[in-house]
Structure 1
Amino acid sequence: MYAQLRETADELAGVLWREHTVYRERGGGVVIRGEHVRRWISLAPTGGKDRALLRAGRILDGGTTAPARTEVVVDLTAGTAELAAVCRRLLAEVAAAAAPAEPVREEGRDRKAGRAARADRPARPPRRERHTSLGSFFVLLCVAGVLGVWLYGVFGGYGY
């Protein structure tokens, strides 16, 4: 099974990326790393004949790999073009999940370059004037009552 995975991975790597590294992972699968696009693809055996688990993820700063974002079981007897299409779809999903959301700006609005983006932020909700709730006052009243009973017992109630 490893030979078939390795062969398929080499073909996929050549179709997907010009610069790539193909290596074996601990679990018996094969990993294709595209350092220039900061993505990886993994082909792992599933236990079934001619089937593999295809996973995709991204490469973090420092070269470590992030956990797989997407995965799908594929048929290895399908052509390289079909497998490459599945890989591209998974890589697009990984890229979409990793991209930060851009703020929406109104067109036609001219801003100075050095100006802070404070005007784009939503206004804060109004702050309530009361900082201590009724529950807190009740707890304080109970503590004062327990302290009063203790002081009465120690200093005044028994006639020592």
Structure 2
Amino acid sequence: MQAQLRETATELARLLWREHTVYRERDGGVVIRGEHVRRWISLSPTGGKDQARVRAGRILDGGTTAPARLEVVVDLTSGTGELAAVCRRLLAETAAEAAPSTAGSSRPARKARPAKTGPARPGKGRHTGVGSWVILLCVGGVVALWAYSVFGGAY
């Protein structure tokens, strides 16, 4: 079954994406990663003859995979073309679920804030906060006490 899954996954990967990676999972399944489309497809045995569980999910920033969004059991004897059609449908539904939807929302969409790259007010530099001044005064006091104890105030 593992050899059949690997062969099917390789043919399927060629139909789905020009750029892909096919690798075997520990449980005997096969994963097809499409880095350029940020999606993955997994084929794993179900225990039934000539059947496989197909799962689809997203690839997150940094290359980690999100848990499967959708799952379906397919018959491997139906052909690679039909299997590719099922996978395309799963991938399309995964992409639709990942896209933010504003339909039916009573709140307006929030705009993203730009990242702060410099001082908040133009023309003014950064300033030292009150907490930093307190720490500096405490360190200065400790140094003064040490100097007093070492030199005994003999200046």
TM-score when normalising by structure 1 = 0.64
Written as runs of structure 1 = structure 2, the 5 A alignment for 1:30-69 is: 30-69=30-69
SS at match of 2:61: coil
Letter in 1 for 2:35: E
Q: CA deviation at 1:102?
A: 4.3
Stretches of structure 2 that go unaligned for 5 or more consecutive residues are: 110-155
Task: Please identify which structure carries the higher helix content.
Answer: 2
Q: CA deviation at 1:54?
A: 0.3
Letter in 2 for 1:8: T
Deviation string for 1:68-99 (max 9, x for gaps)?
00000000011111000000000011001000
Q: What is the aligned partner in structure 2 of residue 71 from structure 1?
A: 71
TM-score when normalising by structure 2 = 0.66
Structure with the greater alpha carbon radius of gyration: 1
After TM superposition, which residue ranges in structure 1, 4 or more long, deviate above 4 angstroms? none
Stretches of structure 1 that go unaligned for 5 or more consecutive residues are: 105-119, 122-160
Q: What is the aligned partner in structure 2 of residue 89 from structure 1?
A: 89
Identity %: 81
**What is the Cα-based RMSD across aligned positions, in Å?**
1.8
Q: CA deviation at 1:45?
A: 0.3
In the aligned structure 2, how far is the partner of 1:7 from the partner of 1:69? Answer: 24
